[in-house]
C-alpha cells in the first residue's frame, strides 16, 4: 500500500482504536517539540500491503501537526478560525467554540422558522373554518341546505355489499352482457366478469319477458330488486323488464 493511500483510512474504526492505544501509551505530547496542540499519530516506517492499524505499537510516535507534516516533507501552513482567529488544525475552518455557536444559531433559526410556519398553518386553518361557517350560513339563508342534503332514492355499486338480503334500487353502468349456452342471460355492472361489482341474472324461463337487451350495454341504469349472493358475488335476479330503468349512455359524457 502506498503512503498516500493511508489518508483514506483515517476514519476507519480499527485505525481510530489503534490511534487511541498510542495516545494512552505515549500521551498527547509531541515527541519532537513538546507541543500538546493538535497531536497526530505518526508511523515510523511503512510496509507495502499493511493496513495503517496492522503495525505494532512500537512503530508509532506522537507528533504535533507541524512536526507531522514536516516528517512527510510537507510545508506547514498555520490555519486560523475564520471567526475568532484562533489557531486550529488545517482541515477545519472553525474552532470548536465558534462551530458550536454556529450550529446553535442554525438550530435556533430552524426552530424559529418552524414556529413561524406552524403559526401560518394555524392561521390558515382558522381562516378555512371561518370560510366554511360563512358558506354554510349562506346556504341555509338561501334555502340551499335542503338541496345539498337531498337524499338519494338509490344506492351505488360500492354500497351493494352492505345491503345483502334487502330490496333496493341500485344505480350503475352495465359493463357486459353475456348469453349462456343454457339460455340464461348475465348482465355485469361496474366491470366485466369476474371484476364486476353486481351481477344481474335473467333465467331462461324469464327471458321472454325482456326485449333485446343489447341496447343496455354502457348505459347507466337503475335496477330494482333483492340483493342475494352467488359464489361470493352480489346479484339481483330479474323477472321483468320494468326492474331496469335506463338513465343515460356513459359515452355521451366521456
> And the C-alpha cell for 31?
515527541
DSSP 49-109: T--GGGS-GGGEEEEEHHHHHHHTTPPP--EE-TTT--EE-TT-SS-HHHHHHHHHHHHHH
> CATH assignment of 155-253, given 3.40.50.300, 1.10.600.10, 2.40.50.140, 3.20.20.10?
2.40.50.140
CATH fold of 3-76 reads: 3.40.1800
SS3 165: coil
Give percent of the chain above pLDDT 90: 54
The answer to whether the 3-76 and 155-253 domains have the same CATH topology is no
Sign of the torsion formed by the C-alpha atoms of 135, 140, 142 and 144: positive
Whether residue 253 has pLDDT greater than 50: no
- Per-residue pLDDT of 15-40, as tens digits, reads 999 999 999 999 999 999 999 988 99
Tens of pLDDT, residue by residue over 62-100, are 999 889 888 888 877 767 777 776 777 766 777 777 888
pLDDT at 251 over 70: no
Among 100-109, 206-215, 226-235, the least confident range: 100-109
Query: Which among 250, 107, 136 is positioned nearest to 190, based on CA atoms?
Result: 250
Q: Is 29 exposed, middle or buried (0-12, 13-18, 19+ CB in 10 A)?
A: middle
What is the per-residue pLDDT for 28? 92
Domain assignments of the chain as residue spans, ordered by start: 3-76, 94-150, 155-253
Give pLDDT tens digits for 171-213: 999 999 999 999 999 999 999 999 999 999 999 999 999 988 8
Amino acid at each position: 500500500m502506498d503512503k498516500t493511500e493511508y489518508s483514506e483510512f483515517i476514519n476507519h474504526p480499527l485505525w481510530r482504536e489503534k490511534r487511541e492505544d498510542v495516545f494512552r501509551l505515549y500521551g498527547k505530547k509531541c515527541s519532537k517539540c513538546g507541543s500538546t496542540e493538535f497531536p497526530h499519530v505518526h508511523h515510523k516506517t511503512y510496509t507495502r500491503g499493511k493496513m495503517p492499524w496492522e503495525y505494532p505499537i512500537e512503530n508509532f510516535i506522537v507528533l504535533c501537526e507541524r512536526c507531522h507534516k514536516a516528517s512527510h516533507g510537507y510545508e506547514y501552513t498555520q490555519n486560523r478560525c475564520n471567526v475568532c482567529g484562533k489557531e486550529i488544525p488545517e482541515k477545519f475552518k472553525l474552532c470548536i467554540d465558534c462551530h458550536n455557536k454556529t450550529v446553535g444559531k442554525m438550530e435556533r433559526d430552524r426552530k424559529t422558522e418552524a414556529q413561524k410556519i406552524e403559526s401560518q398553518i394555524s392561521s390558515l386553518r382558522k381562516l378555512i373554518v371561518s370560510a366554511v361557517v360563512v358558506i354554510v350560513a349562506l346556504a341555509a339563508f338561501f334555502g340551499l341546505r335542503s338541496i345539498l342534503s337531498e337524499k338519494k332514492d338509490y344506492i351505488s355499486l360500492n354500497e351493494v355489499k352492505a345491503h345483502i338480503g334487502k330490496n333496493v334500487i341500485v344505480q350503475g353502468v352495465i359493463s357486459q352482457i353475456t348469453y349462456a349456452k343454457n339460455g340464461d342471460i348475465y348482465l355485469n355492472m361496474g366491470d366485466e366478469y369476474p371484476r364486476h361489482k353486481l351481477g344481474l341474472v335473467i333465467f331462461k324461463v324469464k327471458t321472454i319477458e325482456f326485449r333485446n337487451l343489447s341496447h343496455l350495454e354502457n348505459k347507466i341504469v337503475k335496477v330494482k330488486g333483492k340483493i342475494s349472493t352467488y359464489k361470493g358475488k352480489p346479484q339481483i335476479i330479474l323477472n321483468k323488464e320494468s326492474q331496469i330503468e335506463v338513465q343515460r349512455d356513459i359515452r355521451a359524457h366521456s
